[in-house]
Amino acid sequence: MCGIIGIIGGKPVSRLIYHSLFAIQHRGQSSAGKLTYDGNIHITKDAGLVRDVFNEEKKIDTPGNVGIGHTRYSTTGMDDIESLKINAQPEYSVNPFLAAVHNGNIYNCFELSKKTKRKPRTDCDVQWLLLLLADNLYKKEVTVDAILNACENVMPQLKGSYAALFLADSGENPFLFAITDPHKIRPLVLGKSNGMYCLTSETRVFKKINFEYVRDISGGSVAIIDKEGNIYEKQIIKKQALPCMFEYVYFAKPDSRINGKSVHKVRDEIGRMLAREHPVEADIVIPVPESGRRYVLGYTQESGIPIDEGIMKDKDERSFIQQTQESRDKVVEEGLSFIRSVLEGKRVVLLDDSIVRGTNIRKLVRGLKNAGAKEIHVRIGCPPLIAPCYLGIDMRSRKEFIARSENGEIKSWDTISHEIGADSLGYISIEGLKKAIGSEICKGCIDFPNGYPPEMQHDVEKLFRSDKTGVRAYECI
């Protein structure tokens, strides 16, 4: 999972991309980068947050009326600093010039590596999108038809999820273009402002840079924009849209819209659904900041139990997308404090978006009890996570899920409740989640393997069997 941004128009785009990267920082905290183009390549990328990577004016203001940017959440490659530096995006090829940023996960990279003689410069799956398209554009005039033909050749070979942006050089007329996977698992939206056009992961970017939302890019499509603002779009592969349920549950910010649906309203409905499916007698409802806050609004309105602030958050980092368990633990331990005057003697409903490993929720429950809470009833806005995501969420191994025992069996909710120290535990049902979102969804991590798109189910079962603890299964085959 990453954040991507591309802008093209009649004036320099560098500062717009820079500001946009802050709006999608929550989608990736391991590295950031941008590339602008004016006949020369102007690129800055490094490990770290946007504010750390772009720490000089000369890095922020670079020439070019077209450019792309990226905030990376590592789902391929190693997680040490040097690897994060090397794998930072954008990436580009020289002959022909083609630059790329990618959100998603291509899981058949080994197979794709045999289809090109070009050598990848990094471990990222963006390389295989880039190199295969470069092969198809080699020694050709880069035109709309040439790009469409290249994408028609490459996209059917890709397995996994992708929303990817490319910058292609055609001399006097550079192109910004995008491709999306057939099921539109990863989001991509189009905006405009005064003859300039923007493609990005979330609609909240448009508010940041004063662009107007135009539409979502449909699944299996190629969308090409030239410097004059002409847009050429073609759907190459048509399949049922199955957006990632975790976008709605956790990843996207609440002020964004995915496929026309307000993320805030979806989370509000998830909270209402939890109150209907798992009622409980309690005195107060407490959100896990900030991830549980949107669920609380719907939950309290449906249940009548008042909200209070029992937990304070002192840090901005998101614990789930930290690269190691040690750093996740550190964010939780150093970033939260508990308010005894609110909690003492109270029956508490604690709301959060999901439980993956269980480490964080255990510490939260223990903190609430240490602050004097009488009872703690945990309610979760996502069904139990039982299998790795092979499509861009970094849940690496089947052995790291609290809902799955060491022998592979799915645990009962009572068992999990006991393990985290809660008095009761209730997850939203899969049907309840689908109803709250209002559409079919990709749900492979909560309904394995049937929740994956049908054509992927054999592949993911193979990946599941090859799973090794702590290692991404698709990197082992």
Q: Can you state the angle between helices 293-303 and 263-277, rounded to 10 degrees?
A: 50
Q: Report the pLDDT value the prediction gives residue 51, as an integer from 0 to 100.
A: 96
Domain positions in the chain are 3-241, 257-455
Q: Can you state the angle between helices 413-420 and 359-370, rounded to 10 degrees?
A: 60
Rounded to whole angstroms, the Cα distance separating 309 from 149 reads 55
Q: Is 39 exposed, middle or buried (0-12, 13-18, 19+ CB in 10 A)?
A: exposed
Reference 259, options 160, 385, 166, 163; nearest CA is 163
Q: Is residue 257 a contact partner of residue 203, using CB atoms and an 8 Å limit?
A: yes
Q: For the CA atoms of the chain, what is the radius of gyration? A: 22
Rounded to whole angstroms, the Cα distance separating 286 from 282 reads 11
Q: Is residue 179 a contact partner of residue 155, using CB atoms and an 8 Å limit?
A: yes
Q: Is residue 425 a contact partner of residue 380, using CB atoms and an 8 Å limit?
A: yes
Reference 428, options 418, 84, 419, 441; nearest CA is 441
Pairing of strands 375-380, 347-352: parallel
Classify domain 3-241 by CATH number: 3.60.20.10
Pairing of strands 189-193, 196-200: antiparallel
**Strand spans (E) along 41-146:** 41-47, 66-72, 91-94, 97-106
Element (H, E) at 383: none
Catalytic residue positions, numbered? 2
257-455 is a CATH 3.40.50.2020 domain = yes
Q: Report the pLDDT value the prediction gives residue 123, as an integer from 0 to 100.
A: 84
Q: Is residue 4 a contact partner of residue 164, using CB atoms and an 8 Å limit?
A: yes
Helix, strand, coil % over all residues of the chain, rounded to 5? 35, 25, 40
| pTM for the whole structure | 0.92
- Tens of pLDDT, residue by residue, the chain (477 residues): 799 999 999 999 999 999 999 999 999 999 999 999 999 999 999 999 999 999 999 999 999 999 999 999 876 656 778 888 999 999 999 999 999 999 999 999 999 999 999 999 888 899 999 999 999 999 999 999 999 999 999 999 999 999 999 999 877 789 999 999 999 999 999 999 999 999 999 999 999 999 999 999 999 999 999 999 999 999 999 999 999 999 999 999 999 999 999 999 999 999 999 999 999 999 999 999 878 888 999 999 999 999 999 998 876 554 444 445 454 454 455 578 999 999 999 999 999 999 999 999 999 999 999 999 999 999 999 999 999 999 988 776 777 899 999 888 999 999 999 999 999 999 999 999 999 999 999 999 999 999 999 999 999 999 998 876 555 544 444
* Order of all β-strands in the sheet with 97-106: 91-94, 97-106, 160-168, 175-180, 221-226, 231-235
Q: Report the pLDDT value the prediction gives residue 327, as an integer from 0 to 100.
A: 47
Q: Which amino acid is at 458?
A: H
All residues at 6 or more sequence positions from 446 whose CB lies less than 8 Å from its CB, including other chains: 245, 382, 383, 384, 385, 386, 387, 430
CA distances from 252 to 21, 188, 245 (A): 14, 12, 10
Q: Is residue 71 a contact partner of residue 29, using CB atoms and an 8 Å limit?
A: yes
Greatest pairwise CA separation for the chain in angstroms: 74
Q: Report the pLDDT value the prediction gives residue 113, as an integer from 0 to 100.
A: 93
